[in-house]
Structure 1
């Protein structure tokens, strides 16, 4: 696995949400709705749907390797102290199918939020859904008082890196604490 990860950070208070609201509006006009996992109920059915969506979207991450079992995923995501179902934005198609997700966890005692995963099913890409979900995830972090949002990418994940830079994320040298 590479050791040259791209580390990015966004200062929440300087984020220009108005610049990206048209992505949210355009998606909604096309029949895509957005809700948090908290709004969807955060029950076992929603968690399994999130797992399947995350697993499918993660397959495109360079050097990702095998995805977790549901039990591992539940332990790592849902049992984590940083888990907040309000920070996981889901995009739904008009028929109710979950087509995308953007997961933001809170690490406020350490002074940041973390964008863990943003993904859209292949058939729905290129419609601005990722930018819309990320915009809503940033709004979540702002409401919860996070001063910055961090994310990390494999250097070959050019589309995710470019999307984050479009939103205003900048390169930084932060490191995940051991």
Structure 2
């Protein structure tokens, strides 16, 4: 996705809809980038990932921290959470890769009980704002080809297929 070509005004009503439904958005940086929050993020990510076609077994907590948090691209401002009644209902995680000049959408997911309310799209919009604020032009995402919902959402936002 070319961030410079993104028109956020097309999606302006999503933030209002989420707020009207009782959802707030925060970041790992705002909450505190702590071991306790890392564990909660892991559990949320694991639960949301269970619906990804072909996902297979999820990381162990130790592997998750080693591959997603204790890495140079991790930024707690890029982990955005949808919160409802003080509980985490969804998340998106975006990493920054200055050597490649791209940001990478690691995961966007919403608990089944909160799906169908536009939260994934709202979370992704927050991720795009994070990428813009960080000064990146490109946001990259990968999907299992059977994950039609995620592919459709990203295409709606302006992601395009790139050569393999």
- Give the TM-score of the pair, scaled to structure 1: 0.90
Among candidates 106, 121, 127, match of residue 116 of structure 1: 106
Q: 2-side partners of 1:74 and 1:36: how far apart?
A: 17
Q: How many angstroms does 1:21 deviate by?
A: 2.3
Taking only aligned residues, the RMSD between alpha carbons, in angstroms, comes to 0.9
Q: Deviations over 1:40-79 (max 9, x none)?
A: 1111111111000000000011111111111111111111
* Distance in 1, Cα, partners of 2:83 & 2:61: 22
- The alignment covers a number of residue pairs equal to 164
| Aligned partner of 1:35 among 17, 26, 30 | 26
State the alpha-carbon separation in 2 of the partners of residues 33 and 115 from structure 1: 21
Give the whole-Å Cα distance in 1 for the aligned partners of 2:69 and 2:92. 15
Q: Distance in 1 between matches of 2:79 and 2:6?
A: 19
Cα distance in 2 for residues equivalent to 1:108 and 1:86: 16
State TM-score, norm by structure 2.
0.97
Structure with the larger RCO, 1 or 2 (CA within 8 Å, 6+ apart): 1
Structure 2 regions of 5+ residues with no counterpart? none
Q: Do residues 171 (structure 1) and 148 (structure 2) align?
A: no
* Structure 1: runs of 5+ lacking an equivalent: 1-9
Q: How far did 1:96 drift?
A: 0.7
Q: What is the CA deviation profile of residues 66-107 of structure 1, one whole-angstrom value per residue up to 9, with x for unaligned ones?
A: 1111111111111110000100110000x2110000111001
1:111 Cα deviation from its structure 2 partner: 1.1
**Maintained 8 Å contact 1:100/1:121:** yes
**For 2:12 and 2:46, how far apart are their aligned partners in 1?**
28
